[in-house]
Amino acid sequence: MMESALILLNNSQTNRHHYIFQFVFEENLGIPFECTSSISQFEEANNSIKINYSNHPCNTLCALSIFNAEFLQQIGFNQSLPTIQGSGTETTIFPSPKDSLFDFSFDVFSAIFFLLTRYEEYQDTPKDQHGRFQAKHSVATKHQFLQFPLVDIWLDAIQQKLDLPNVPKRKFKFIPTFDLDQVWSYKHKGISRLAVKLVRSLIRLERRNIVDIINILIGKKQDPYFVFNYLFQLHNQHEHIHPIYFLAVGKWSNFDKNTPIKKHSFKLFIQDLSSRYKVGLHPSYSSNTKTHQLQKEYNDLKNLISYPLKRSRQHFLKVSFPETYSNLIQIGIEKEFSMGYAEAIGFRASTARHFLWYNLALEQTEQLRIYPFQIMDVSLFNYLNRSSQQALHDFEHIKKQIETYGGNLITIWHNSSFDEKEGWDKSKQTFFETLYSEAAKSQIFS
Ligand SMILES: [Zn+2]
């Protein structure tokens, strides 16, 4: 039998083990591996790099010896959390026994599994008014590592300890993304919705607003949400960057207010946009409880674009485990972009790399790839109330982490955020353009 480049001695082989070794060794360190529970096979594999993950002493030289907390042998999820010690980049999860001679002071494989699968989000933690898990309840906030890609830092440590040759270079990639909850603020909304907006403006005596609205409707003034000429120009200046636009095409509701998909103007817009850039689905708020709506929205958008519709991000970032992701797989989504917090910036899954979703309810790896984001416009300016200066500081820190450890810098902007009435001003524009060009520059130099 051909020996693999790397062999792990491991008591049992579960789906969890396979998932995490695949992520660490094949996907990120670029090295094929095999597992064995046979000590003699392990000892004889002299042409392979050896990792002992068994808690058995072995009579052979190992490149790494890692404490096995046996978390990857468990099934399902329970309400207790693992032991977590320290804070920031010094955090350890599943610590090794005191005075033991392991190469890590904790079970790094279980720790990565715990963070990537979002194990803690399956627990009965109180949710916010939209049913979302909140950053303040996360172990990353409690142990002050939300601003650090701990998983990527540990991958780097594994690589250094193994001293691997030919590891693929860790690349920095910038993916700006845009959520189009409402393509237009006034235009193409339909008479009844426009009437509601006009009556509201009249009641509030917003005289200027009425004049503005009329000018927008007769085409004398640009609709304040329709900022695509500006965005397209910006993208044109950075041709190596490929933005993604997520489109809300659901039925009108309290939280879903885009132009109806049957409107010709909206269809034309989608066709034009999707011919220039990648587009994804932005499932409506109500699709979370009505899955037939999710399917309809997917079909409606799919029928308008000329390539397969594979990408999605939840409106309001509404994700509950495991239902949301399972529903998205059902309709044909393969790449998901909701992994991040509304009320905080940083690394929700402690990584800037994409990874396959492991479904803890079914104990299996699913064919849905998660693309975590780190920074969203409304997180910075609405939830966290940052000045543009502070926001730039936050961005520089995140960018530095991803430049160092590799991965995707993914940002979310809403087209509606570029409206002065939503708080857009010169300093925010400078911040946005600085972020865009700095991130684009980092990608060239990575
Ligand atoms: Zn949205």
Task: Report d(CA 386, CA 381) in Å as an integer.
Answer: 5
pLDDT of residue 205: 66
- Ligand 1 centroid to Cα of residue 246, in Å, is 8
Q: What is the mean pLDDT of residues 154-177?
A: 89
* Cα 343 to averaged position of ligand 1 atoms, centre (Å): 14
Distance 413 CA to ligand 1 centre (A): 10
Asked if the 172-445 domain carries CATH number 3.20.20.370, the reply is: yes
Asked if 237 and 433 count as a contact pair (C-beta separation under 8 A), the reply is no
Measured in angstroms, how far is the CA atom of residue 414 from the centroid of ligand 1? 8
Mean pLDDT, the chain, integer? 93
CB 313 within 8 A of CB 338: yes
pLDDT of residue 445: 87
Q: Tell me how far the alpha carbon of residue 338 is from its chain's centroid.
A: 5
Q: Identify the top-confidence range among 217-221, 404-408, 442-446.
A: 404-408
Q: Residue 123 has what pLDDT?
A: 92
Q: Is the pLDDT of residue 38 over 90?
A: yes
Mean pLDDT calculated for residue range 206-218: 76
Q: Is the pLDDT of residue 258 over 60?
A: yes
Paired sense of beta strands 84-85 and 64-65, if any: unpaired
The span from the CA of 119 to the CA of 126, in Å, is 15
Q: What are phi and psi of 436, to 5 degrees?
A: -60, -50
Band the pLDDT of 98: cuts 50, 70, 90: confident
The predicted model scores a pTM of: 0.95
Q: What is the pLDDT of residue 208?
A: 61
C-alpha 315 to ligand 1 mean position (Å): 4
pLDDT classification of 201: cutoffs 50, 70, 90: confident
Please list, in sequence order, all residues whose beta carbon lies within 8 angstroms of the beta carbon of residue 7, skipping any fewer than 6 positions away.
33, 34, 35, 36, 41, 42, 45, 48, 49, 50, 51
In angstroms, the CA 388 to CA 240 distance is 26
Ligand 1 centre distance from Cα of residue 329 (Å) = 20
116-130, 184-198, 241-255, 311-325: range with lowest mean pLDDT: 184-198
Q: What percent of the chain has pLDDT over 70?
A: 98
Average pLDDT over residues 54-76: 89
When pLDDT is averaged across residues 174-181 and rounded to a whole number, the result is 98
Q: How many angstroms does the Cα of residue 424 sit away from the middle of ligand 1?
A: 18
Summarised one tens digit per residue, pLDDT across range 126-144 is 999 999 999 999 999 999 9
How far is the centre of ligand 1, averaged over its atoms, from the C-alpha of 398 (Å)? 23
Distance of CA 402 from the midpoint of ligand 1 (Å): 25
Q: Cα(4) to centroid of ligand 1, in Å?
A: 46
Q: List Cα–Cα distances, 138 to 134, 341, 347, in angstroms.
A: 7, 11, 11
Residue 1: pLDDT above 60?
no
* pLDDT (average), residues 185-210: 75
Residues 6+ apart with CB under 8 A from 195: none
Cα-to-chain-centroid distance, residue 153:
17
Q: How far is the CA of 314 from the centre of ligand 1 (A)?
A: 7
Please give the pLDDT value at position 50: 95
Confidence of residue 56 (pLDDT cuts 50, 70, 90): confident
**Which pLDDT does position 60 carry in this prediction?**
80
**Which residues, at least 6 apart from 381, have a Cβ–Cβ distance to it below 8 Å?**
391, 417, 423, 428
Ligand 1 centroid – CA 81 distance (Å): 32
* Rounded to 5°, angle at Cα 395 from 390 and 400: 130
Tell me how far apart the alpha carbons of residues 75 and 325 are, in angstroms, rounded to a whole number.
20
Q: Kindly give the distance from the C-alpha atom of residue 386 to the centroid of ligand 1, in angstroms, as a whole number.
A: 21
Query: Ligand 1 mean position to 214 CA, how many Å?
Result: 27
Match 């044909």 to its residue by tokens: 332
Average pLDDT of the segment spanning 331-357: 98
CA 318 to ligand 1 center in whole angstroms: 10
The pLDDT confidence band at residue 206, using thresholds 50, 70 and 90, is: low
Angle between helices 323-331 and 291-302 (to 10 degrees): 40
**pLDDT score at 182:** 94
pLDDT value at position 207? 62
Domain ranges within the chain, ordered by starting residue: 6-162, 172-445
Rounded average pLDDT over 94-123: 94
204-229: average pLDDT: 82
Q: How far apart are CA 333 and CA 281, in angstroms?
A: 9
Per-residue pLDDT band at 295 (split at 50, 70, 90): very high
Q: 310, 332 in Cβ contact below 8 A?
A: yes
Rounded alpha-carbon distances, angstroms, from residue 209 to 65, 155, 212, 224, 415:
68, 54, 5, 12, 20
Task: Summarize the confidence of residues 102-110 as an average pLDDT.
Answer: 95
Q: How far is ligand 1, taken at its centre, from the CA of residue 295, in Å? A: 18
- How are beta strands 92-93 and 172-180 bridged, if at all? unpaired
Q: How does strand 278-281 pair with strand 244-247?
A: parallel
How many angstroms is it from 34 CA to the middle of ligand 1?
43
Long-range CB contact pairs, 157-162, < 8 A, 24+:
157/104, 157/108, 158/24, 158/29, 158/64, 158/108, 159/29, 161/63, 161/64, 161/103, 162/29, 162/49, 162/63, 162/64
Q: What DSSP element (H or E) covers 3? A: none
Q: What is the percent of the chain where pLDDT is above 90?
A: 80
CA 438/CA 398 separation, integer angstroms: 12
